[in-house]
Amino acid sequence: MKPQYFSFSTTKIFTLFLLVTIFHLPPISGIQNDQQYTKCGVLFNCGKLTRIDYPFYGGDRPDECGYPGLKLACENGTTTTIQMNNLKYRVLELNPKTQLLKISRNDFSQTLCPQELKNTTLDSQLFEYANGYVNLTFLYGCPDLDFPVPYRFDCPVKGTAERNGYVEFGTRFSGVCRENVVVPVSYKSFVDFKDLKAVVGEGFEVRFKVESGACGECRRSGGRCGYDVAADQFVCFCPDQSAAAESRTCGGGEVAGAGNYHPRASTVAPLASGIHALN
């Protein structure tokens, strides 16, 4: 009987091929993190707002590229919006350096009689009101009043035949009216009052309270800022990244271009969540 040289050689070659293939495959985590690094290089652009980076996400920027609660949307290619406590706001201005957003309520953009009457509320752990705003209280379903009021409008309210609506300065709740909604407006626009819709449409400023130091360190080291939703913490995506480590920077803290990068990711504990109603 002849020796089975062909079978033995084929087995050795196949085994060698498997070993070479396995040892040369990139780790799955490295592929995933490298994709996140690439995706987070895409900036948000919509109308006048352009080149918007972390902590915001939305559009072509996936969730892991921004801080939870700071998702932007682009409507009709011109209008940027953001959701806050189930209310949609138009983003009129965004200044990353001062961390200021100028927003206006979308439901009041066309009418003083929105379908749902909701108070203005913010997540107090994520936003705070900036200086220079005043509150207006919109009163709905009111009877005819015997004294003059600053502004009157007509609005049907479900559950009552009264259609009178009034606006008062500050936060005031009338016992004779069925509903009330508090809307902040810019003090400057209120002083230069001409049209109530225009005043509300000019919006007010809020400051987003996201710690920016970690992201600054990440960028200076050549990384891109993101957020690990599963771990609920900040993460720095690095080029050729294959694992996560307790660091805010790529390359062991070296500035981009100053040396070789060591695969790593950063972790920074997030802020707690909470709800705050305007009063």
**The predicted structure's pLDDT at residue 22:** 38
Region 12-39: mean pLDDT is 51
Task: State pTM to two decimals.
Answer: 0.75
Q: Is the pLDDT of residue 83 over 80?
A: yes
Average pLDDT, the chain: 77
- Measuring CA to CA, which residue among 195, 201, 182, 199 is closest to residue 136? 182
- Confidence tier at 268 by pLDDT (50, 70, 90): very low
**The predicted structure's pLDDT at residue 190:** 74
**The predicted structure's pLDDT at residue 246:** 52
- Say which residue, 7 or 141, is predicted with more confidence: 141
Region 233-262: mean pLDDT is 57
Q: Is the pLDDT of residue 2 over 60?
A: no
**The predicted structure's pLDDT at residue 104:** 95
Q: What is the pLDDT of residues 137-151, one digit of tens each?
A: 999 999 887 777 778
- Confidence tier at 267 by pLDDT (50, 70, 90): very low
**The predicted structure's pLDDT at residue 93:** 96
Region 130-159: mean pLDDT is 86
**The predicted structure's pLDDT at residue 266:** 36
**The predicted structure's pLDDT at residue 145:** 79
Q: What is the pLDDT of residues 201-213, one digit of tens each?
A: 999 999 999 988 8
**The predicted structure's pLDDT at residue 278:** 35
**The predicted structure's pLDDT at residue 247:** 62
- Measuring CA to CA, which residue among 73, 103, 77 is closest to residue 91? 103
Q: What is the pLDDT of residues 27-76, one digit of tens each?
A: 434 445 568 899 999 999 999 999 999 999 999 999 999 999 999 999 99
